[in-house]
Structure 1
Amino acid sequence: MKLPGFLNQPQPGNSRAIPGALFHFLVKGEQTGDAHALLKIDVQPGAEPPEHVHANEDEAYYLLEGKITFKIGDDFFEATAGDYVYLPKEVSHTFQVKTDVAKVLMWISPAGLDQWFWDNSAPAEDMKALPPLQGPPPPHVITHNTETLKDYGVEMI
């Protein structure tokens, strides 16, 4: 099947929110035959994922604004605007936002995990993140995320 070309930008219809982060789905897997997905994410400290490993996809981050410390395997990288960070599948990783907000492009290849982010976030008609959590997520949220991510080949460390 031949896929059509397209032009996209952040807009209410392709933006979703979680506590402390706003996701703009610039390219979903369904638009690329699941070759890749591209998200623009505005993330605040406290909305970072715990250390985890992907079985199926590589991720890459391009920092547009802010500062993030990435842990990839046993290595640490201090990334700032203009830096590209590659997170290969089967290598554990996490990151910590070091500024009030970091704006990144997140490339997922092959696509698939983008659907988990879509399904586990809320529509963002106002183009804003949900208010950050005060403290860790409730136990039922941690359990839900851990269990549903297993379906996508993602294991928490």
Structure 2
Amino acid sequence: MNTLKAYKSSPTLENSTWYKGILVSQLAGGSDTGGAFDLVESRMKQGTEPPPHIHDREDELFYILSGELKVFAQGKVLTVKAGESVFLPKKVPHAYLIQSEECHVLALMTPGGFMNAINNMNAPARAMQIPSDMETYATADLTDTMAVFMKYGLRMLSPDEIAEHLPGYPTTR
């Protein structure tokens, strides 16, 4: 049996990566928590949001450190600002759009393990800032990305599913 150890963590180049135009600092992963959760700090800018999607395994909690998100889930459109959080249960289609120029978010995903998918597709951060020279979800061919995500229980929504489950989500961005 693997015994978990107490530790402290902060965002550093050693635990930070660039993924689809987002600076992601992994503060805790499944191997650190016995699979209980992943904890990441992310810095994102408008245009780096993932397409509408659904997780089969993870519940997500986002706490906004700075900036603002518009979150679409369960027929609701929620504006989430600095100092506020939003919970997105597994098996619930959802999406978000960054409303401020940048957004700084703490994300808790439970159970742990989803970050393994991201870690299969990211690049080491060269600086503790949002990358400016990287393709995003909006500019990338997502064929390989979707294949990796499917292995981890995440699926992008079809246009019909977006219309059905995420009223208010813009069909053109």
Taking structure 1 as the reference length, the TM-score comes to 0.93
Structure 1 residue 21 displacement after superposition: 1.1
Q: Deviations over 1:13-59 (max 9, x none)?
A: 10001243100101111100110010000011111011110111101
Report if the CA contact (8 A) 1:20-1:45 is conserved: no
Q: Among all aligned residue pairs of Structure 1 and Structure 2, give the percentage whose two residues are the same amino acid.
A: 28
Gaps of 5+ in 1: none
| Amino acid of the structure 1 residue aligned with 2:90 | K
Total equivalences in the alignment: 155
Structure 1 residue 72 displacement after superposition: 1.1
Taking structure 2 as the reference length, the TM-score comes to 0.85
Distance 1:112 1:79, change over 3 A: same
Instruction: Give the secondary-structure state (helix, strand or coil) at the position aligned to 2:57.
Output: coil
Report if the CA contact (8 A) 2:20-2:137 is conserved: no
Give the aligned partner of residue 143 of structure 1.
143
1:1-157 paired onto structure 2 within 5 Å: 1-131=2-132, 133=135, 136-139=138-141, 142-157=142-157
Distance 2:27 2:138 in 1: 29
Distance 2:111 2:98 in 1: 25
Distance 1:135 1:151, change over 3 A: closer
Gaps of 5+ in 2: 158-173
Deviates more, 1:100-109 or 1:117-126: 117-126
Distance 1:44 1:3, change over 3 A: same
Distance 1:23 1:138, change over 3 A: closer
Distance 1:135 1:121, change over 3 A: closer
Distance 1:72 1:17, change over 3 A: same
Structure 1 residue 135 displacement after superposition: 8.8
Structure 1 residue 133 displacement after superposition: 4.3
Distance 2:108 2:78 in 1: 18
Distance 1:112 1:135 in 2: 21
Distance 2:136 2:21 in 1: 10
Report if the CA contact (8 A) 2:48-2:137 is conserved: no
Q: Deviations over 1:93-123 (max 9, x none)?
A: 1100011110000001001111111221110
Which stretches of structure 1, 4 residues or more, deviate above 4 A after TM superposition?
A: 132-135
Distance 1:19 1:138, change over 3 A: closer
Q: RMSD in angstroms over aligned alpha carbons?
A: 1.5
| Amino acid of the structure 2 residue aligned with 1:62 | Y
